Amino acid sequence: MALPDPAPVLALIDAFRGSKTMFAALGMGIFDRLHDGPSTAAALAPALQADEAALARLLDGCAALGLLAKRRGVYSNTPLAETYLWSGSPDSLCGYIRYSNDALYPMWGRLEDAVREGAPRWQQTFGIEGGIFGGFYRSEQATRDFARGMHGFGRLTSPRVAEAFDLSRFRCVADLGGGTGHLAIAICERYPGIRGVVFDLPVIAPLARENAALSPARDRMEIVEGDFFQDPLPPADLYALGRILHDWSDSKCGVLLRAISAALPPGGGLLIADRLLHEDGAGPLPACLQSLNMLVATEGRERSLSEFAALLHHAGFEQVEGRHTGAPLDAVIAIKPGGSRARMEP
């Protein structure tokens, strides 16, 4: 009897090596250096305070991963690296990669403890009280780096979420915990009749103002400072939650969803951007891995559409629909009873 193909297991054995190769190259500033021009390992080594032979191995690894091009010993960024790994790119994922390397990578090393205890690993790994978000906002630079990382990720996903349903009947969207404003901006740019409000903590609001000012929809954008668990929500007939509910337990999600339902007018809506699990929980793979990520990092998890629907119905919503967007985040919409039934086809 033939043995099963070991390729999937072998690929998983090596998977973290590829990630760490990219993490290390970005952390050392290789992609930013090569943005300024092609170079050799010999020329880069002194500037990066690296051993030349060891650096050449790292550069070759990046070339094998398709992140760098190599020609006659000279390395240069590929278009992939210029777009996502150069810190000056508007689509840069550098902040998210640094967060993955500096925060997630060490916590994933304690996954077994998280599974045994059913609790995140932030305090165990870093000894910081107050949870993961206190760590993100520990300094102005840490705040900016995390927020810019989320912004780069949001630019990949928010336009697809904005087009998942027909939102044209709404007049004002308030993106709660909206970060740099990428989701509200995407909605306002797609729907010229909608005004946008980005609602987030005072430490994040300046970054949202910077991004809103660059949008063609800037005259319809407003940034409001506040905490959605403590402060009154800004008035709107459509609220949005992008990568928010997966941070929290069902009970805390219920508190927030009931507050949103109470603030909405009849017929108002809630748009959710998160990864959708299959109903049996065994896929899609990115959603399953993200759910494990939330285990090590937060008190939350990813959910299936029926699990979202149960939370939403309990909070007073009806007409719950979900869509896979083809982007890293999916979309769910729910309507508060009392208005005319909405047509939500894209």
Give me the CATH number covering residue 31.
1.10.10.10
Q: Tell me what pLDDT residue 173 has.
A: 98
CA distance 71 to 30: 17
- Note whether 254 and 175 are same-domain residues: yes
Q: Tell me what pLDDT residue 11 has.
A: 96
- Note whether 40 and 169 are same-domain residues: no
- Note whether 169 and 76 are same-domain residues: no
Q: Tell me what pLDDT residue 134 has.
A: 57
Given a cut of 80, whether residue 244 has pLDDT beyond it is yes
> Is residue 146 one of the residues assigned to a domain?
no
Among 45, 66, 84, residue at a domain's last position: 84
The pair of three-digit structure tokens given for residue 297, joined into one six-digit string: 């990092």
Q: What is the rounded average pLDDT of the residues 170-188?
A: 96
- Note whether 167 and 72 are same-domain residues: no
- Note whether 74 and 163 are same-domain residues: no
Burial of 238 (0-12, 13-18, 19+ CB in 10 A): buried
Give me the CATH number covering residue 278.
3.40.50.150
> Is residue 274 one of the residues assigned to a domain?
yes
> Is residue 115 one of the residues assigned to a domain?
no
- Active-site positions? 246
Q: Tell me what pLDDT residue 339 has.
A: 66
Among 35, 57, 84, residue at a domain's last position: 84
- Note whether 53 and 165 are same-domain residues: no
Given a cut of 90, whether residue 148 has pLDDT beyond it is no
> Is residue 15 one of the residues assigned to a domain?
yes
Among 40, 65, 84, residue at a domain's last position: 84
Query: Quick check: 341 and 161 in contact, CB under 8 A?
Result: no
CA distance 53 to 282: 44
- Note whether 44 and 164 are same-domain residues: no
Q: At residue 134, what are phi and psi to the nearest 5 degrees?
A: -60, -35
- Note whether 69 and 184 are same-domain residues: no
Residue 22: which domain range? 7-84
> Is residue 118 one of the residues assigned to a domain?
no
Given a cut of 60, whether residue 88 has pLDDT beyond it is yes
- Note whether 228 and 329 are same-domain residues: yes
Within 8 A by CB and 6+ apart from 313, the residues are: 320
- Note whether 78 and 161 are same-domain residues: no
> Is residue 137 one of the residues assigned to a domain?
no
| Mean pLDDT taken over the chain | 93
- One-letter amino acid for residue 1 of the chain: M
Please tell me the total count of domains within the chain. Answer: 2
Handedness of CA 74, 80, 83, 88 (dihedral sign): negative
Maximum C-alpha span of the chain? 69
Given a cut of 60, whether residue 340 has pLDDT beyond it is no
> Is residue 149 one of the residues assigned to a domain?
no
pLDDT tens-place string over residues 89-142? 988 999 889 989 988 999 999 999 999 999 999 889 988 765 555 555 556 666
Q: Which of 14-28, 65-79, 130-144 has the lowest mean pLDDT?
A: 130-144
- Note whether 315 and 172 are same-domain residues: yes
Q: Tell me what pLDDT residue 151 has.
A: 82
> Is residue 188 one of the residues assigned to a domain?
yes
